């Protein structure tokens, strides 16, 4: 189903203070990069041009404007193969300027969580991701509903407080 939601780039361009992203799934639809990693191919981190993508530049440019970007992932343990790959490629997110933390799912039991992954911009606007069962994005929903914003903001902060910084989360 096509989405009429503003692009992620447009939402980040309007963002002034903070953008937070909560990921709740243990796998998403496979990508060519994931398949290459499964075959044993690895990124040459020293050759930034070989892996730097427009997303990375967008994040860097946004952080340079003073916007704090945080990502938290809730993961089952032992982690899935997909999460092992995500952990590996998170170096790109960090290099671009994101702060990333990981929360083992068993430590999230007492947190009221939304049913979907989301981005929250400036604590006022949500971009909610709706996925198919196999992890493909079906639609993105934009909402400023105060109850949804409050739930997602509170959930993200509770996850962030309990989560392990990327450099300390060993897989």
Average pLDDT in the chain:
96
- Provide the pLDDT confidence category of residue 76 given band limits of 50, 70 and 90: very high
* d(C-alpha 39, C-alpha 83), whole Å: 16
Helix 81-96 vs helix 54-64: crossing angle, to nearest 10: 50
Contact call for residues 114 and 155 (beta carbons, < 8 A): yes
| pLDDT for the residue numbered 5 | 72
pLDDT one-digit tens code per residue, 13-54: 999 999 999 999 999 999 999 999 999 999 999 999 999 999
Nearest in space to 126 (alpha carbons), one of 31, 1, 24, 18: 18
* d(C-alpha 168, C-alpha 102), whole Å: 9
pLDDT one-digit tens code per residue, 83-106: 999 999 999 999 999 999 999 999
- Provide the pLDDT confidence category of residue 4 given band limits of 50, 70 and 90: low
Q: Is the pLDDT of residue 1 over 90?
A: no
pTM tops 0.85, yes or no: yes
| pLDDT for the residue numbered 95 | 98
User: Cα 58–98–159 angle (5° rounding)?
Assistant: 130
pLDDT one-digit tens code per residue, 128-163: 999 999 999 999 999 999 999 999 999 999 999 999
| pLDDT for the residue numbered 128 | 97
User: By three-state DSSP, how is residue 19 classified?
Assistant: strand
Report residue 155: phi and psi, to 5°: -65, -45
Nearest in space to 167 (alpha carbons), one of 106, 103, 102: 102
| pLDDT for the residue numbered 71 | 99
Judge: domain 8-168, CATH 3.30.870. Answer: yes
User: What are the C-alpha distances in Å from 111 to residues 12, 57, 127?
Assistant: 27, 33, 20
């Amino acid at each position: 189903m096509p989405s009429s939601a503003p692009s992620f780039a447009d939402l980040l361009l309007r963002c002034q203070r903070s953008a937070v992203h909560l990921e709740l799934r243990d796998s998403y639809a496979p990508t060519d990069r994931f398949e290459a990693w499964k075959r044993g191919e690895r990124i040459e981190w020293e050759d930034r041009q070989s892996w730097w993508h427009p997303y990375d530049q967008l994040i860097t440019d946004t952080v340079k404007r003073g916007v704090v970007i945080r990502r938290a992932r809730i993961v089952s343990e032992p982690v899935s193969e997909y999460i092992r790959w995500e952990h590996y490629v998170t170096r790109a997110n960090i290099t671009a300027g994101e702060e990333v933390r990981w929360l083992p799912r068993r430590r999230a039991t007492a947190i009221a969580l939304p049913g979907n992954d989301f981005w929250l911009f400036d604590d006022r606007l949500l971009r909610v991701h709706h996925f198919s069962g196999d992890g493909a994005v079906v639609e993105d929903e934009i909402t400023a509903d105060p109850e949804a914003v409050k739930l997602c903001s509170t959930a993200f902060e509770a996850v962030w407080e309990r989560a392990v910084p990327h450099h300390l989360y060993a897989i």
